[in-house]
Amino acid sequence: MFKTVGVIGAGQMGHGIALVSALKGVEIRMLDASEEALEAGLEKIRESLSRQERKGLVSQADADAALKRIETATDYAVFKDCDMVIEAASENEEVKRDIFKKLTPHLKAAAMLASNTSSISITRLAASTDRPAQFCGCHFMNPVPAVKLVELIRGLATAEETFEAFRDFAHGLDKTIAVSEDFPGFIVNRILLPMINEAIYTLYEGVGTVTAIDTAMKLGTKHPLGPLELADFIGLDTCLAILGVLHGDLADSKYRPCPLLVKYVEAGWLGVKTGRGFYDYSQDVPRPTR
């Protein structure tokens, strides 16, 4: 298992990956563009640890030790001693390519790379680095501490040694692995996002209300969250980005993003993180916005 791991991005996914790794004794170097973003990520980590303490899942000593293992920085030089660095930035290929361009000059030769991308080609991302054989897709699910699954994806050039190292890393975090081929959306989002998109079309076409659609899917199919609730939790901008990859790379009209989803993203109604999406989160009980 990697002893020192870099995490790029202190947001929803990045701070979760940092947290579960630090709890397992991994030394973490977490980078973001600003001190404010890093502090926000650390505060989320503290809140998560407090919840786990209250539930008896971790001791205070283990929580304190995990926090001490997390070093933060805004300079890529912090990754010079890392055995592996995982990128957990926004779901935008150009952003990710730019990150890897800035990152690789600071890495030791043996360091491995990963992307937490939920849809973008691992082969393409790996090819933008100086070490495609040492690059793997390592897709954690949100929220990282609670969801057991990690999708592992080999790029065309990924060495078997690299893949096995990431398999050991995921197992060391007590995660269950699903191995996916390097196709757009991999397994989870290849299936999930068309369902969410169809739920949004169902709303757009007036087949049902927000409440009716989510209730139908929760009770009718035993989903813990309705598809519109889930879309808000994921982030409507992320949903749109993944559908854009599926539609663009597979060239199939069934992946065309619903115009209503596009409109919500254009309005800045991105879901839970902005306080408004298919639901309004300004009250104690979320209310449908449509």
Annotated catalytic residue within 180, 189, 197, 229: 189
Give the burial class of 178: count Cβ atoms within 10 A of its Cβ; 0-12 exposed, 13-18 middle, 19 or more buried: middle
* Residue 189 annotated among the catalytic residues of the structure: yes
Under 8 Å between Cβ of 77 and 106: yes
Question: Residue 198 is inside which H or E element, if any?
Answer: helix 188-204
Structure tokens at 23: 């709890």
* Residue 106 annotated among the catalytic residues of the structure: no
First CA to last CA distance, the chain: 48
Annotated catalytic residue within 27, 91, 151, 229: 151
* Residue 253 annotated among the catalytic residues of the structure: no
* Residue 118 annotated among the catalytic residues of the structure: yes
Tell me if residue 246 falls in helix, strand or coil: helix
Structure tokens at 75: 């300079």
Annotated catalytic residue within 21, 115, 118, 180: 118
Comparing CA positions, the residue from 86, 98, 77 lying closest to residue 165 is 86
Instruction: Say which residues have a Cβ less than 8 Å from residue 280's Cβ, sequence separation at least 6.
Output: 286, 287, 288, 289
Distance of CA 194 to the CA centre of its chain: 18
Structure tokens at 74: 């805004």
Instruction: Say which residues have a Cβ less than 8 Å from residue 109's Cβ, sequence separation at least 6.
Output: none
Annotated catalytic residue within 119, 139, 180, 197: 139
What whole-number distance in Å separates Cα of residue 286 and Cα of residue 288? 7
> Which positions are catalytic?
118, 139, 151, 189
